[in-house]
Amino acid sequence: MNAAMRVALSISALALLLASPAMTQDRQPPTSIAAPWDLPFLPPAPQWDGASRALLRDAGDPWATDFERDPAHDFSPNYAATRGWFDRLDAASDLIRIEAFGTSPEGRQMYAVIASKDGGAFDPSKPVLLAQAGIHPGEIDGKDAGMMLLRDIAFYGKSDLLDRVNLILIPILSVDGHERASPYSRPNQRGPRIQGWRNTATNQNLNRDFMKLDQVEMRALRGLMLKYRPDLYLDIHVTDGMDYQYDVTFGFNGENDAWSRSPAIAAWLDDRFKPAMNAALEGQGHIPGELVFGIDDANPKAGFSDGGLGERFSNGWGSAARVPTVLIENHSLKPYEQRVLGTYVLIEESLRRLAKDGAALRSAIQADSALRPAEIPANFQPDPTPASTRTFKGIRYETYDSPASGRREIRWLGQADPEPWQVPFFGSRPTLTLARPEAYWVPAHRADIIERLRLHGIEMETLHDGRTVSVEMLRLQQPTLAGRANEGRVAVNIAGVETERRDWTYAPGSVRVSTDQPLGDVVVLLLEPQSSESFFAWGLFPEVLSRVEYIEGYAIAPLAERMLAADPALRAEFEARLSAEPDFAANGDARLQWFYERTPFYDDRFQLYPIGRETGA
Ligand SMILES: [Zn+2]
C-alpha cells in the first residue's frame, strides 16, 4: 500500500468515527466501532480493591455523581451536566456556592465551587485550599473526586472539614478543551472512557502559561488566586510515561534540590504535608509515590529525573511566587476509579492537614515572601550526574521484537515486581545566575507588558509625568529565533547581553517595578531577557530585532574614507580585521557596514532591550 492509499484509508476510517455516536457531546461509550483502536492495547493494570472504595455511594443515592452511577466507574460528565449537578448542590446546601471567575475563548463560563462555613466572605484566619482539576482536561480525576467530596461535606457527615479551612474547587479549568471530548484524547490513559483534549480552543497548553499569561483562562485563574490568596494549591493531573506501581504521585519544587526559591514552604511540604498524604493514601489502599520522570523510554531502570519544571509550570511558578503548590500526577495506566478515589483521599487529607498545620504554613509563606536573594538561579537543566539512588516500586516488563517499529519494544506485564528497584535519580541545576537589580523601568509603549505584570499581582509605580532616569540598558547579543512555534510563540535565544549606562526618558504611563516585593523573584525571571521564562525569551519583543534606516554606498564610502583619515586607531582596527578575515576583506558591503555601525547614523535601538534596569551603581 502506498502512502497516498494509506492516507485515504485513514481518512475514510476517520469519517466513520466522526459519524459515530462516540463523537457527539453526550459522552456515550462507543458501541459499534470495531477499528483496531477500540481493542484494548494498553498494558494491564494490577488488580486493585482499596479501602477507599467505601467512599463510593450507590447509584440509587439521590446525590450519586455520574461517575458513581456508571457501573464501571469510568465515566466523567460533560461541562453542562457537571455544572447542573453543582447548581443543584449549591441550591441544596448553605455550605456550597458557585463563583464565576472568567469566560473562555469559546464563551463558556469558568467557575469555582466554594465550600465554606463563613458565608459570603472568608474568615481571614482560616487557611484556604485551592484544588484545581482540568488544566489538562483529559486528566480530569480531580473533578469527579471533588464532586464526591463536596457532596460528602454538604450532606454526608464531613462538614467538620470546613470548621477551620475553606475549600475552593475548580472542577474544570480548561473548559473549552474539556468539551473537545472523545474516546481518543488520551491514548496512554485508562479512563474515563470519554476524555477532554489537552489544549484549549486556541491550541494552548495552559500549564505552560503561568508566567507569560497569554491565555484568558490563566489570567482569570490568576485573578481568582489574588482574590482568595490560597495557602495551598493542588494542580491535579494524570501522567503519561512509564508504568510503575504507584497510583498517586505528587511533588513540588524544592523537594529534591539543595536550594529552593521557597525553602520554608518546601520544608513544610516535605515535613508536614508529604508524610500525612502518604499515610492517608496508604491507609486507604493506595500506593503514593514521588513525582518522577523516566529519562529513557527504552530502559526504565536507567533513571528518573525531577523534570526540572520551570516557572511556566504551576509548581515552578508557585515556588517563585511563594504560593505553596503541589503537582499531583495520578498514574495513567491505573483504572479511573482507583485514580478518582486516590484524589478524593488526597484532597480530604489536605484539608485536614491545613486545619492542623495551616498556621505553620502561613509562617513559612511569610518567611519565604520576605526573601530578597541578590542572585537568582535560572534556566534549569537536568543534572548530568545522579544525585542519589532511590528505591522504586516497579512493574515487571519484558522486551520483544516489534514488526511495527522494527526494534525491541517494552511490554509492561501489569504485575508488581517483588524485587524493589534501585534507580539513579537525577536532579536539575541552574545554568544561569541573574543579579537582582533594585527595579526595572518598563516604557509606556509596552502597555501590554505592563498589563501582564499587573495581572500577576506585581506592584508598580506609574509615572504621571515623563521622567529621565539613569538606567542600565541591555544590548542583546546574537539573537536567534527558534526554528518552530511553541505555544503560539516563536522563542528567541540570545548569547548574552552587554550593558550600557544611559539616561533614558520615560513617557507618562511608564512604570517602575521594584524587585523589593514578595513577587520580586517573579519580576526578575519575567524581565531579564536571558531568563528562559522571560517575556523576551517567549518572543514578546520581536520588534527590537529589526534595524531601521540604512545608508547608501555613495554616502557611506566617502564618509568611511574620511573616518579612516581622521582616526588612526580606527584605521588600525580596520586593517587588523582585513588581514584577519579574508571574507570580510573581499566583501565591500560588509566593509561599509562596519563603518556605518560606527557612525551616529546607525539605529541606536537595534537589539536594545527596551526595559531598563535600575541599579545602585
Ligand atoms: Zn497534565
DSSP three-state, residue 569: helix
CA of 335 to the centre of ligand 1 (A): 17
CA of 545 to the centre of ligand 1 (A): 35
Better-scored residue on pLDDT, 22 or 67:
67
CA of 138 to the centre of ligand 1 (A): 8
Q: Does residue 230 register a pLDDT over 70?
A: yes
CA of 235 to the centre of ligand 1 (A): 9
CA of 239 to the centre of ligand 1 (A): 6
- Residue 128, by phi and psi: left (phi above 0), alpha (psi -120 to 50) or beta? beta
Average pLDDT on 303-331 reads 95
CA of 313 to the centre of ligand 1 (A): 10
User: Model confidence over 140-154: pLDDT tens digits?
Assistant: 999 999 999 999 999
Q: Does residue 5 register a pLDDT over 60?
A: no
Q: Does residue 551 register a pLDDT over 90?
A: yes
Average pLDDT on 80-91 reads 98
CA of 301 to the centre of ligand 1 (A): 23
Q: Is 216 exposed, middle or buried (0-12, 13-18, 19+ CB in 10 A)?
A: middle
CA of 173 to the centre of ligand 1 (A): 12
Average pLDDT on 298-316 reads 92
Most confident region among 15-19, 91-95, 297-301 by mean pLDDT: 91-95
CA of 292 to the centre of ligand 1 (A): 14
CA 264 to chain centre: 22
CA of 331 to the centre of ligand 1 (A): 11
Q: What band does 24 get if pLDDT is binned at 50, 70 and 90?
A: very low
Beta-carbon count within 10 A of 64 CB: 18
Q: Does residue 51 register a pLDDT over 50?
A: yes
CA of 599 to the centre of ligand 1 (A): 53
Cα R_g (the chain), whole angstroms: 28
DSSP 30: P
Q: Does residue 12 register a pLDDT over 60?
A: no
Pairing between β-strand 128-133 and β-strand 96-103 as defined by DSSP bridges: unpaired
- The set of residues, in sequence order, having a beta carbon less than 8 Å from that of 100 and lying 6+ positions away, is 109, 110, 111
CA of 6 to the centre of ligand 1 (A): 32
CA separation, residue 551 to residues 534, 555, 572 (Å): 34, 7, 24
Residue 26 confidence (pLDDT): 53
CA separation, residue 505 to residues 40, 604, 610 (Å): 66, 15, 12
Q: Does residue 194 register a pLDDT over 50?
A: yes
Pairing between β-strand 232-238 and β-strand 128-133 as defined by DSSP bridges: parallel
CA of 601 to the centre of ligand 1 (A): 52
CA of 419 to the centre of ligand 1 (A): 30
Cell numbers linked to 410: 517494552
CA of 321 to the centre of ligand 1 (A): 21
DSSP 270: I
- Residue 84, by phi and psi: left (phi above 0), alpha (psi -120 to 50) or beta? alpha
CA of 458 to the centre of ligand 1 (A): 27
Residue 32 confidence (pLDDT): 56
CA dist 451 and 460 (Å) reads: 11
Residue 40 confidence (pLDDT): 82
CA dist 261 and 249 (Å) reads: 22
Average pLDDT on 458-481 reads 97
Q: What band does 259 get if pLDDT is binned at 50, 70 and 90?
A: confident
* Candidate from 17-26, 72-81, 104-113, 279-288 with smallest mean pLDDT: 17-26
Residue 187 confidence (pLDDT): 93
Task: Count CA atoms closer than 13 A to 572's CA, side-chain side.
Answer: 3
Residue 262 · residue 270 · CB < 8 Å: no
Q: Does residue 550 register a pLDDT over 90?
A: yes
Taking the CA atoms of residue 4, residue 8, residue 10 and residue 16 in that order, the dihedral angle to the nearest 10 degrees is 180
User: Model confidence over 361-384: pLDDT tens digits?
Assistant: 999 999 999 999 999 999 999 898
DSSP 272: I
CA of 136 to the centre of ligand 1 (A): 5
CA of 329 to the centre of ligand 1 (A): 7
- The set of residues, in sequence order, having a beta carbon less than 8 Å from that of 299 and lying 6+ positions away, is none
CA of 137 to the centre of ligand 1 (A): 8
Q: What is the mean pLDDT of the chain?
A: 93
Residue 23 confidence (pLDDT): 35
Pairing between β-strand 608-614 and β-strand 467-477 as defined by DSSP bridges: antiparallel
Angle at CA of residue 45, ends 41 and 50, nearest 5°:
150
Q: Does residue 18 register a pLDDT over 60?
A: no
Residue 33 confidence (pLDDT): 53
Average pLDDT on 537-559 reads 96
* Candidate from 19-23, 282-286, 287-291, 564-568 with smallest mean pLDDT: 19-23
CA of 597 to the centre of ligand 1 (A): 49
CA of 141 to the centre of ligand 1 (A): 11
CA of 208 to the centre of ligand 1 (A): 10
Percent of the chain predicted with pLDDT > 90: 89
User: Model confidence over 576-599: pLDDT tens digits?
Assistant: 999 999 999 999 999 999 999 999
CA of 284 to the centre of ligand 1 (A): 24
Alpha-helical (H) ranges within 457-552 are: 520-527
182-197 burial, b at 16+ Cβ within 10 Å, e below that, comes to bbbbbeebbbbbbbbb
User: Model confidence over 485-516: pLDDT tens digits?
Assistant: 999 999 999 999 999 999 999 999 999 999 99
CA of 533 to the centre of ligand 1 (A): 19
Residue 315 · residue 325 · CB < 8 Å: yes
CA of 281 to the centre of ligand 1 (A): 21
Alpha-helical (H) ranges within 420-517 are: 447-456
CA of 242 to the centre of ligand 1 (A): 15
Average pLDDT on 403-430 reads 95
Residue 27 confidence (pLDDT): 54
CA dist 261 and 257 (Å) reads: 10
Residue 17 confidence (pLDDT): 38
CA of 327 to the centre of ligand 1 (A): 9
Better-scored residue on pLDDT, 9 or 156:
156
User: Model confidence over 130-139: pLDDT tens digits?
Assistant: 999 999 999 9
CA of 40 to the centre of ligand 1 (A): 23
Beta-carbon count within 10 A of 57 CB: 18
